[in-house]
């Protein structure tokens, strides 16, 4: 299972959404709009799950999520869409 995660750190536009492997122990509890901890370069940062994609990952370069930082969604779908629209309008990730 893969999770599409929006890192809460300013990155180039091409890297505004990253894929991570969901560990087996988190597969039953991960949902979109949750706050998660992800590895990014040599740091651990927070990110928001944009989507959960069922299936297995075949690319060995994809890193794994570290942990869930929240059990409940931290944004509503409406708020996330507003943030995406604003980022598109201002050409920022």
> What is the structure's pLDDT at 60?
81
pTM: 0.87
Q: 4-35, pLDDT tens digit by residue?
A: 999 998 888 778 899 999 999 999 999 999 99
Residue 53, helix vs strand vs coil: strand
Assign residue 10 a region (left: φ > 0; alpha: ψ between -120 and 50; beta: otherwise): beta
Q: For residue 87, is pLDDT > 90?
A: no
pLDDT at 92: 79
pLDDT number for residue 73: 93
- The residues that bridge with 3 in the sheet, in sequence order, are 20, 52
Give the number of other CB atoms < 10 A from CB of residue 93.
15
């Amino acid at each position: 299972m893969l999770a599409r995660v929006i890192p809460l750190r300013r990155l180039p536009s091409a890297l505004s959404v990253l894929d991570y492997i969901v560990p087996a122990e988190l597969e039953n509890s991960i949902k979109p709009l949750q706050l998660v901890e992800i590895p990014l370069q040599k740091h651990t940062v927070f990110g928001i799950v944009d989507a959960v994609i069922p299936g297995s990952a075949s690319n060995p370069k994809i890193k794994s999520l570290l942990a869930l930082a929240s059990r409940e969604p931290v944004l509503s779908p409406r708020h996330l869409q507003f943030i995406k629209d604003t980022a598109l309008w201002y050409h920022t990730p």
